[in-house]
Structure 1
Amino acid sequence: MRRTGFVDAVDGLGQHDHICWVFHTLEQFRQAAGRFLTDGVAAGQQVIYLAEGASATELDHVAGFAAARMSGAALVQDLGIYEPLRPVDAAAQVAEYERATDQALAAGFTGLRVAAQVTPLARTPAQLDAFTRYEHHADALMIRRPFSAMCGYHAGELSAAAVAELASMHPLATPGSTPLRMFPSAQPEVTAVLAGEVDLAGRRLLHDVLRRVDLTPVDGAVTIDARDLTFLDHRGLFQLVDQVRARGATTVLHVAERSPVRLVAELLALPDVRLVMS
């Protein structure tokens, strides 16, 4: 099972986990990336360290990393492979990681694990929009394939609003990085998971998130797992339902029995919203 929520450590993450790691110094990122990647090596994965201007020996101080690099179990790549001055091509990059995962499996590894310092890919508004969309599609790949990733963002180089948009596309994020998260579900019958809080501060973020995620209806419905949504005001529910309605579909919300989301939805009694207690 994939882990979700807010965490302050990268240790012990699994084959399909995807974390947004917000850091304040490059050394903080290197230390966390070293732990994340050595966990992957121990689990039999091929691992990649990706950062702007990365040197081949940048993580050799991490126990076991130099040996893994020499054997081909660990790779170090410069961020330049992404063409960092241009918005990322989400479909092409996801296809590249799927190919790299297949190559790792063919070489006898149990999967692929990447720690990437990708701040330079989200600096402009166009880059930010493209990269948040890419994060969503990359997360869908991580459900299907044994591919896990740690996406690092420098809090000193990006605004808090930009960090929140990026973090909102991850099942896992550092505490305080975003009020809400929306990401693909591992359950085939569920379109997406919506977690966190949607209040006055979160409604603008929800608006941007809903523009970027894939809410393709199945049998005339978009099903959202809202069991970890701790607060949703009526305007936030209207936003969600309007986006689904624009796709010609009904909104199905999976909620906990005592969820405040259930109370709001039942109070509004919208005709194209159906609740499922779970």
Structure 2
Amino acid sequence: MASAASVDDLRPGDHACLTYSDTEERLDLVAAFVRDGLGSGQKVICLTDPSGPADLAGELAERDVKPAHGGQLAIRDNDEVWLSGGQVSAGNIIEMLSGELAAAHRDGFTGLRVTADMCWATRPAAAVDELLVFETRVAGLFADGRLTAICQYDRQSFDQVTLAFAAKAHPRAVAAAVYHEDPLLRICRQHVPPGIRLAGEIDYRRVTELNQALAEALRLGGDIHVNLRHLTFMDAAAAAAIGQAALALQPGRAMSVVCGRAVHKVLDLVGVTDHPAVRVRLVHGRA
């Protein structure tokens, strides 16, 4: 399998694998995949598990993915698609996708884009060997470039053998761009809304990595979203780096910051919240 790339780099005909352990990061990548498909005139189908279509629709809306019209976006429950009749058949699923490809062409869409949470394969009623058959046989549907897909695998739900097979079966892989990761801190790119995401604890020792992430967000243009909802500690040096990035914004651009109470206090202490281009949203229930 190819090395992991940004979801923005996927092209028509790509069959990609997303293995994840961070649910929010997974939803960010899925939202970017859906947004790009809608923007390019493709029919988009999301197969979601296990909470249901309504939850995914809300998560997409929270990430600024606009509602689609004319049946362009369909969100379906995994159990209804994969486990219809209580038994999985790889052949039936491939036949379904073939029918959706034909329907997308007939309805005037430029192609079909599918993202599927593969956790259905961990159900007692599901046969894991059908998952292996599906991932092997579905490759033929991508040949003419009309189908683009991301299959999502939760690292905590699948064993290492299955994850290794999934990695080998997909020609492409998608992952967030990571600027820094260690047991205490993760800094990565956020695709939707565009910006960066921090989780864990940050102090002056990681300001260089934070500045790198902020600098790339500044280069991308538009407003910057700084997601700190999973950051439990920030010192004044890191907060000041965010303030300096806000000062570097060109006229007309803004910075949105989401954080908990403890981080908000530090941002307020160093004056970030006073900047006219900065909008801070406090996430209640977080330290």
TM (normalized to structure 2)?
0.54
Could you tell me which of 36, 45, 48 is aligned with 1:51?
48
* Partner Cα distance (2:21, 2:27) in 1: 11
Shift in CA distance, 92/167, structure 1 to aligned 2, threshold 3 Å: same
CA contact (8 A) 1:86 1:127 kept: no
1:54-65 equivalences under 5 Å are 54-56=52-54, 57-58=57-58, 59-65=60-66
* Partner Cα distance (1:84, 1:24) in 2: 27
Deviation at 1:128, TM superposition (A): 2.1
* Partner Cα distance (1:88, 1:45) in 2: 27
Structure-2 residue corresponding to 1:117: 117
Structure-1 residue corresponding to 2:167: 167
Unaligned segments of structure 2, at least 5 residues = 176-287
Structure 2 residue 74 is the aligned partner of structure 1 residue 79: no
* Partner Cα distance (2:166, 2:85) in 1: 18
Deviation at 1:76, TM superposition (A): 0.9
* Partner Cα distance (2:87, 2:4) in 1: 29
Deviation at 1:24, TM superposition (A): 0.4
Deviation at 1:28, TM superposition (A): 2.1
Structure 2 residue 8 is the aligned partner of structure 1 residue 7: no
Structure-2 residue corresponding to 1:34: 31
Shift in CA distance, 172/87, structure 1 to aligned 2, threshold 3 Å: farther
* Partner Cα distance (1:126, 1:37) in 2: 27
Deviation at 1:38, TM superposition (A): 1.1
1:1-278 equivalences under 5 Å are 5-52=2-49, 53-56=51-54, 57-58=57-58, 59-66=60-67, 68=68, 70-80=69-79, 81-83=81-83, 88-122=88-122, 127-144=127-144, 146-173=146-173
Query: Helix, strand or coil for the counterpart of 1:92?
Result: helix
Structure 1 vs Structure 2 CA RMSD: 2.4
* Partner Cα distance (1:97, 1:54) in 2: 20
CA deviation profile, 1:230-270 (whole Å, cap 9, x unmatched): xxxxxxxxxxxxxxxxxxxxxxxxxxxxxxxxxxxxxxxxx
CA deviation profile, 1:41-84 (whole Å, cap 9, x unmatched): 12210101111132332312233432x1x442111111112117
Deviation at 1:27, TM superposition (A): 2.1
Deviation at 1:126, TM superposition (A): 6.7
CA contact (8 A) 1:19 1:172 kept: yes
Deviation at 1:122, TM superposition (A): 4.3
* Partner Cα distance (1:8, 1:89) in 2: 31
Shift in CA distance, 158/123, structure 1 to aligned 2, threshold 3 Å: farther
* Partner Cα distance (2:84, 2:162) in 1: 17
CA contact (8 A) 2:7 2:174 kept: no
CA contact (8 A) 2:122 2:157 kept: no
Aligned residues: 170
CA contact (8 A) 2:119 2:154 kept: yes
Which has the greater radius of gyration? 2
CA contact (8 A) 1:87 1:121 kept: no
Query: Helix, strand or coil for the counterpart of 1:102?
Result: helix
* Partner Cα distance (2:16, 2:78) in 1: 18
Shift in CA distance, 86/169, structure 1 to aligned 2, threshold 3 Å: farther
Large movers: runs of 4+ above 3 Å: 84-87, 122-126
